[in-house]
A and B are shown apart, each in its own frame.
Chain A
């Protein structure tokens, strides 16, 4: 449990404070047809915490994230955001949560400015001057002021990720979910994104759940880490516990040895 657990979330625009929210997952299982993707997952994320969920590709991390935001319905078990069931539409009205998609999921037909302004406009949160102020502040926080008039197709991968985070920030979230925020980025940009996530937590006390393969990100900014393999949660604990893991599966995942004579892909099941 982090020290900031009882610290309220601070609105980056108005500086008002709202209680930080936690997430509780109880016995979550998910199958697509006969393929079971998640197997009896149970863990919780404390308010104000950065929880990094790691695991190999195809282990079910993104599916788990979609359950938290209500885009998927569990086959068994329940997911609670604060005290609300994640499958209920009411949850999205009561808790402000934002998901930063792996590919950004920016609206290609809208400029960066309009991407950010969409949420406050649709929910009529402010007049156009208020929206402009909020959008420019979000762009400023992420050093994107000069990109306001650009379209997503004109942005680099790193800028797209930052715009996606800025768009999430405009929603004044109590809970931020990141799906592979550092994938396809160079090491420096990956470190920048990790710093942004940590800064949002430090400055605004936003609860963050980060799905990532990035070991450096997990060890640097996570309060706790979960490791998902084959749909099962095999580790939940502090990042320090991953520095010298006892479980050979975790050791192999975090420190894979390149063995040219006995390549791993030849041992994989087809």
Chain B
């Protein structure tokens, strides 16, 4: 029963935080510096790990597909398999998971620390809404940067698949053939659906991590607990939302 109450309270406080943050949306133009700083944090600093992981995910996909398909003479479809898998599922989910682990944990730690050391209380006494200064720029930056990360993840993953398809001896498919198959079966709609999913995941991850950070009470130990809770909650939400958003987009 207590668990259920905690979950309902969490949903309620997250929704309240969203509404309060959106009520300050008019202040975004004069928060340019904070918005750009958050774009840098969410986008630029996450880019290398997104690129590395998507390269190897694309490579492994091509490798597995090549190994399984070589006996049935379906190697020419490796490009389409990698293209569709990255665009529709692996790209969005992988970017969201990396976002939860790298950006979400950092957001939760920073806001929890500000809360524990009374910096958030100081903002309230200064009549500066924490939602306006701490949450809104992060949400806006996530909306802008997450699709960019997803596009890069797709491109790098496709490229990784192409390299494996070309240089692994039992596959040996030239890049023109690989990309031709990829283009034939991966439509613009597939890529767009993937981007919509990433956008939803990214927004939810940032919102949930902000909420958990700002609701931290206690001392330094609770900062660590909040970070763990933020990442675990984000991961669960990503996978649950993945089913429902995918179903809605089919």
| Chain A residues engaging chain B, CB cutoff 8 angstroms | 66, 69-71, 92-93, 97-99, 101, 103, 105-108, 118-119, 122-123, 171
Q: Give 22 A-B contacts (CB < 8 Å), ordered by A residue.
A: A70-B124, A70-B125, A71-B121, A71-B124, A92-B127, A93-B127, A98-B126, A99-B121, A101-B122, A105-B117, A105-B118, A105-B121, A107-B114, A107-B119, A108-B119, A118-B126, A119-B128, A122-B126, A122-B128, A123-B127, A123-B128, A171-B126
Q: Does B133 contact A (CB under 8 A)?
A: yes
Contacts of B121 in A (CB 8 A): 66, 71, 99, 101, 105
Q: Given A70-B124, A105-B118, output 6 extra A-B contacts at Cβ < 8 Å.
A: A97-B125, A105-B119, A105-B121, A118-B126, A118-B128, A122-B128
A242 to B128, CA, bound (A): 40
A98 to B124, CA, bound (A): 10
Contacts of A108 in B (CB 8 A): 117, 119
Contacts of A92 in B (CB 8 A): 125, 127
Closest chain A residue to B120, Cβ basis: A105
Interface of B is mostly: helix
**B125 contacts A99, C-beta separation under 8 Å:** yes
Q: How far is the CB of A79 from chain B (nearest CB, A)?
A: 14
| Chain B residues engaging chain A, CB cutoff 8 angstroms | 114, 117-119, 121-122, 124-128, 133
Q: How far is the CB of A152 from chain B (nearest CB, A)?
A: 10
Contacts of B114 in A (CB 8 A): 107
Q: Known interface pairs A108-B119, A122-B133. Does A69 touch B127 (Cβ–Cβ under 8 Å)?
A: no
* Inter-chain residue pair count (beta carbon < 8 A): 43
* Most B C-beta atoms less than 10 A away, residue of A70, A119, A122: A122
**A105 contacts B122, C-beta separation under 8 Å:** yes
A118 to B130, CA, bound (A): 13
A59 to B133, CA, bound (A): 34
A114 to B128, CA, bound (A): 15
**B118 contacts A69, C-beta separation under 8 Å:** no
A108 to B122, CA, bound (A): 12
Contacts of A106 in B (CB 8 A): 119, 122
Q: Known interface pairs A101-B118, A105-B117. Does A69 touch B125 (Cβ–Cβ under 8 Å)?
A: yes
Contacts of A122 in B (CB 8 A): 126, 128, 133
A103 to B121, CA, bound (A): 12
**B118 contacts A103, C-beta separation under 8 Å:** yes
Closest chain A residue to B31, Cβ basis: A122
Question: Nearest 9 CB-CB pairs, A to B?
Answer: A105-B118, A105-B122, A92-B127, A99-B125, A122-B128, A101-B118, A119-B126, A69-B125, A105-B119
Closest chain A residue to B132, Cβ basis: A122
**B126 contacts A107, C-beta separation under 8 Å:** no
A123 to B117, CA, bound (A): 23
A103 to B117, CA, bound (A): 8
Contacts of B127 in A (CB 8 A): 92-93, 123
Q: How far is the CB of A258 from chain B (nearest CB, A)?
A: 30
A70 to B114, CA, bound (A): 19
A239 to B200, CA, bound (A): 61
A93 to B124, CA, bound (A): 11
Q: How far is the CB of B111 from chain A (nearest CB, A)?
A: 12
Contacts of B126 in A (CB 8 A): 98, 118-119, 122, 171
* Most A C-beta atoms less than 10 A away, residue of B114, B127, B128, B133: B127
Q: How far is the CB of B106 from chain A (nearest CB, A)?
A: 13
Contacts of B119 in A (CB 8 A): 105-108
A66 to B128, CA, bound (A): 17
A101 to B121, CA, bound (A): 9
Q: How far is the CB of A269 from chain B (nearest CB, A)?
A: 24
Find B125's partner among A71, A93, A103, A123 (CB 8 Å cutoff).
A71
Contacts of A171 in B (CB 8 A): 126
A71 to B125, CA, bound (A): 8
Contacts of A118 in B (CB 8 A): 126, 128
Contacts of B122 in A (CB 8 A): 99, 101, 105-107
Q: How far is the CB of A27 from chain B (nearest CB, A)?
A: 24
Closest chain A residue to B127, Cβ basis: A92
* Most A C-beta atoms less than 10 A away, residue of B117, B124, B125, B133: B125
A118 to B122, CA, bound (A): 11
Q: How far is the CB of A101 from chain B (nearest CB, A)?
A: 5
Contacts of B125 in A (CB 8 A): 69-71, 92, 97-99
Closest chain A residue to B133, Cβ basis: A122
A98 to B122, CA, bound (A): 9
* Most A C-beta atoms less than 10 A away, residue of B119, B122, B128: B122
